[in-house]
Amino acid sequence: MATAKKLDCVILGLLSHEELTGYEIKKRMDSVLHYFWGASYGSIYPTLRELCEKGLATVRGCVQSGREKRVYTITAAGREYLNLWLRLPVQKDEIRYETLLKLFFGEAGGPRQAIAHIDAFERKTKQELSYLLAAKKTLMGCLDDAPAHRYYLLTVQFGIETYRAYLRWCQQARAVLQQADKKE
């Protein structure tokens, strides 16, 4: 359990709130979970099957407007499993930022190139930030609809704070590099 597959837990977590299809799970991954967890269909569908085999979820075929869907539901055992995992201490928080890697070795490419990477990073960060700000607004409007919303908001707030820190850093870093560029 200590080394439980994370995707099991993520999917179980999503199912603990609502019944979902594999396709919908992927959508959640790409929207609400997007900035701190990701997964592809190639991992989601097989995991879903495993979850059923382990008795942590059940499937139900469902024909909606002519299309066939497979709706997944969490079982009591699944909730137990999820709660067990939630109680365990966090094993690993990791960041893998290629931008920082390129910057770390950036001397080889010179200040101009490094600045270009920072510009791209800044653009992406601004975009993500505006998405998170919109998410926050939405959540603020329905905070009392479900107790889980407070927890969602906490993670959104995390993103907002860190993205703002990124943007401040971009300014600083660019200033340093522009200085270096002039000297060259």
Residues that bind DNA (CB under 7 A): 3, 5-7, 21-24, 27, 38-43, 45-49, 64-70
> Token pair of 56, please?
């942590």
Strand partners, 68: 63
The DSSP letter of residue 106 is G
CA separation for the pair 122, 138 (Å, rounded): 24
The least distance separating a copy of itself from the CB of residue 11, rounded to whole angstroms, comes to: 11
CA separation for the pair 156, 9 (Å, rounded): 20
Helix/strand/coil for 89: coil
**Using CB distances below 5 to 8 A depending on partner kind, what does residue 3 bind out of DNA, a copy of itself, none?**
DNA
The DSSP letter of residue 60 is E
Among 109, 130, 134, 137, binds a copy of itself (CB under 8 A): 109
List residues near a copy of itself by CB under 8 A: 6, 9-10, 13, 16, 32-33, 35-38, 79, 82-83, 85-87, 89-109, 113-114, 117, 120-121, 124, 147-148, 150-155, 157-158, 161-162, 164-166, 168-169, 172-173, 176-177, 180
